């Protein structure tokens, strides 16, 4: 009986928290931005990787699977359907973007986010930009937000 009570208490704490509340539990919570768009009925969690790129996790009210995007912008020049090349523990993963413009959006699957969350090293390249993700905890944090459907948006 005690075990059942503890499980129910844990479930109510885990599933009853808003996305913003859950993000605030992250050690590096200040790096994250949580925005709710009442017109689109979506909640977005953004985390900056470097000056020109960030990860976005989007929860739509009508879709149980969150959407993950790696966003890259550049101030000079244009992208022409660029590719995001990542070396994840030495294994190459290439993700294409259909974007043409000063920004590119690369969709990631939850499975790819899991791979990133379990990685020991992640390096990336988008045209002239190359880098290494130093804080791999961000992938784990974003993945943790996908583990349960978020509650209804704030009123």
Would you state the pLDDT for residue 77? 62
Q: Residue 31 to residues 27, 48, 76, 88: CA-CA distances in angstroms?
A: 10, 7, 26, 23
Tell me the residue length of the chain. Answer: 155
57-90 tens-digit pLDDT = 999 887 778 999 988 887 666 677 788 999 999 9
Lowest mean pLDDT among 5-14, 33-42, 64-73, 133-142: 5-14
Would you state the pLDDT for residue 13? 42
95-149 tens-digit pLDDT = 988 766 778 889 999 999 999 999 999 999 887 678 899 999 999 999 999 986 5
Q: Residue 95 belongs to what domain range?
A: 18-145
Q: How many structural domains is the chain composed of?
A: 1
pTM, two decimal places: 0.78
| Domain contains 116 | yes
Distance CA(128)–CA(106), nearest Å, equals: 16
CATH number of the structural domain spanning residue 51: 2.60.40
Start-to-end CA distance of the chain, whole Å, equals: 35
| Domain contains 1 | no
| Domain contains 5 | no
């Amino acid at each position: 009986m005690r075990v059942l009570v503890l499980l129910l208490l844990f479930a109510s704490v885990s599933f009853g928290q808003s996305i913003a509340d859950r993000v605030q539990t992250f050690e590096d919570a200040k790096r994250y931005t949580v925005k709710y768009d009442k017109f689109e009925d979506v909640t977005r969690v953004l985390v900056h990787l470097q000056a020109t790129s960030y990860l976005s996790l989007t929860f739509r009210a009508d879709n149980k699977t969150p959407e993950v995007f790696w966003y890259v912008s550049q101030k000079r020049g244009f992208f022409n359907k660029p590719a995001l090349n990542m070396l994840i523990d030495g294994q190459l993963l290439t993700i294409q973007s259909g974007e043409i413009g000063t920004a590119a959006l690369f969709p990631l699957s939850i499975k790819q986010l899991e791979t990133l969350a379990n990685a020991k090293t992640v390096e990336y390249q988008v045209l002239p930009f190359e880098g290494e993700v130093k804080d791999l905890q961000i992938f784990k944090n974003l993945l943790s937000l996908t583990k349960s459907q978020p509650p209804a948006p704030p009123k």
